[in-house]
Amino acid sequence: MNRINQIQIPKEVTKVIRAYINDFEGSQLRHKMKLGDDYYHSENTEIMSRKMLIYAETNEGMPYETEDPYKSNNKLPAGYFKLLTDQKVNYSLGKNVTVEANDPDSLNDTLGKGFQRVLKKVATEASKKVVGWLHPYIDDKGQFKMMNVPSEQVIPVYQPYDKRALELTIRYYQVSVINADGEAVRVTRVEVWDEEEVTYYQENDKTSLFNLLDQQEMFDIFRRDFNNPKYHFQKDIKYGKKTTRTEGLAWGMVPFIPLYNNDAEEYDLKPIKAFIDAYDIVNSDFINNLEDFQDVYWILKGYDGTNVSEFLHQVKRYKTLKVSDTGDAKAETIQIPYQARKEAKEGLEQDIFTFGMGVNTNQIGEGNITNVVIKSRFTNLDLKASQFEGELKEFLYSLIDFVNKYREINKEPPIKVDDIVFNRSVIMNEVELLEANQKQLGVVSEDTRLSNHPWVSDTEEEIKKMKDEREGTVDLNAPIVGDGGGE
């Protein structure tokens, strides 16, 4: 029984749960998750929250700061963070991961066809939110399944002696329920997972207390009878076609697997946020200048108005200005610094790709495009990917522990993994590769040469095709016939 379930009084349970949630909500980690998600979706907080302010005066001559109603305030958030995040994830995981194991077919069958998509999703979460979470479970049909859980829903509680050894996990999220008055309300549901059980609590919209879900509420969620707390999964014991009893089973470990972005437990936004914010300002202000045509400031002499706010109102609305007989008002313009801003944008973009350790694909086509040049431009991305793949390996080994526990329950032998290989998606000069490959004909074995051929994905299948052609079993002159659309 975990430390929360040892408390029976609802007020005390609520106090403990809210302490965990409030501590997490106010943490730097949660703040980074919000920023990372915002910048990934081009909701860059600095530019999107910017206001154009101006100093004005009250009728008594007191200065104050207010939002300028006349100044253009375009907000153009750059999507560099999404570009760099997707680039890193697809570089390492764009092609299927190769798991060198004694029974790779069984492993692939257990993980399922959608595993690569699940892996890319949790990797994206880790890159933008510091850590991504995967929840393995066994469904009602006895099949091994996985679910991505949003990072902002998971509060990990670690063992005191090991920061990465989970003691329990608290998951919380909002649900819609019908309260005692028949009204639809939003409340917080909490799941507390330990090595054996999961306990469900739900907030009462009237008292704000967290209460254990009762038998009926559990049935409404799962459509079958469960106790609360309940075991991780259940196995029906049958006699013939009749279920005689249900046996509760446990993973023996907390069924949440973390994928950290790096050893420092930082997100990828940290080294580039300031450069993206500066780029947004330069880009947005350039459009503001074009929209306003030009920046103007006024030299006033003998102005009859009462304050600066009234002056701006007269100029913007009426296009006229009243001054005394000896007064004067003169507008001075500031030319738009187009070249300076262009150079600033280019410099900031270079900094974003440099410190974000990515590849600016717009520059790959510049100069002499040999594979040596291309490879040199991938150096930073290679370094970042190598570090990330180290975390991915640790994550995958933990996932395979759950797969082997599942196999143990089904009385199947464990899968032994020798290595995990990431097949990076590298841009290469194909013509150069083909020429180099042709020069190796007769120098190395055909198996080695074909395995490095850019057009060959399955070496054994390609050798078989070549053998069939040599033996004449394939007619290269036969016409290509499609399904056709005739009578």
pLDDT digits (tens, 9 = 90+) for 352-371: 999 999 988 777 555 556 65
What local confidence, expressed as pLDDT, does residue 15 receive? 92
* pLDDT band with cut points at 50, 70 and 90 for residue 443: low
How many Å apart are CA 81 and CA 41, to the nearest integer? 9
* pLDDT band with cut points at 50, 70 and 90 for residue 433: very low
Per-residue pLDDT averaged across 165-176, rounded? 94
pLDDT in tens, 304-331: 555 656 666 665 554 555 555 566 656 6
Residue 135 in 3-state DSSP? strand
* pLDDT band with cut points at 50, 70 and 90 for residue 487: very low
pTM: 0.78
How many Å apart are CA 308 and CA 302, to the nearest integer? 13
What local confidence, expressed as pLDDT, does residue 481 receive? 47
Q: What token pair was written down for 174?
A: 């909002």
Which of the pair, 57 or 270, is modelled with greater confidence? 270
What local confidence, expressed as pLDDT, does residue 198 receive? 94
Per-residue pLDDT averaged across 97-126, rounded? 93
How many Å apart are CA 419 and CA 415, to the nearest integer? 12
Evaluate if residue 428 carries a pLDDT over 60.
no
Burial 400-438 (b: 16+ CB within 10 A, else e): bbbbbbbbeeeeeeebebeebebebeeeebeeeeeeebe
What local confidence, expressed as pLDDT, does residue 35 receive? 97
* Per-domain residue ranges of the chain: 429-475
* pLDDT band with cut points at 50, 70 and 90 for residue 122: very high
What local confidence, expressed as pLDDT, does residue 471 receive? 72
Quickly list DSSP for 349-386. HHHHHHHTT---GGGTTSS---HHHHHHHTHHHHHHHH
pLDDT in tens, 330-348: 665 556 677 888 899 999 9
What local confidence, expressed as pLDDT, does residue 61 receive? 66
Query: Please, what is the average pLDDT of the chain?
Result: 82
| High-pLDDT (> 70) share of the chain, % | 74
Q: HSE on the CB side for 347, CA within 13 Å? A: 8
* pLDDT band with cut points at 50, 70 and 90 for residue 289: confident
User: Hey, which bits of 79-143 come out as E strands?
Assistant: 98-101, 131-138
pLDDT in tens, 176-235: 988 888 889 999 999 999 999 999 999 998 898 999 988 888 888 888 878 889 999 887
Give residue for tokens 């409030």.
22
Quickly list DSSP for 318-336. HS---EEEEEEEEEEEE--
What local confidence, expressed as pLDDT, does residue 1 receive? 59
**Which range among 47-56, 76-85, 123-132 shows the weakest confidence by mean pLDDT?**
47-56
What local confidence, expressed as pLDDT, does residue 431 receive? 46
Evaluate if residue 397 carries a pLDDT over 70.
yes
Evaluate if residue 247 carries a pLDDT over 90.
no
- Residue 209's CB is within 10 A of a number of other CB atoms, namely 17
How many Å apart are CA 43 and CA 59, to the nearest integer? 39
Evaluate if residue 267 carries a pLDDT over 80.
yes
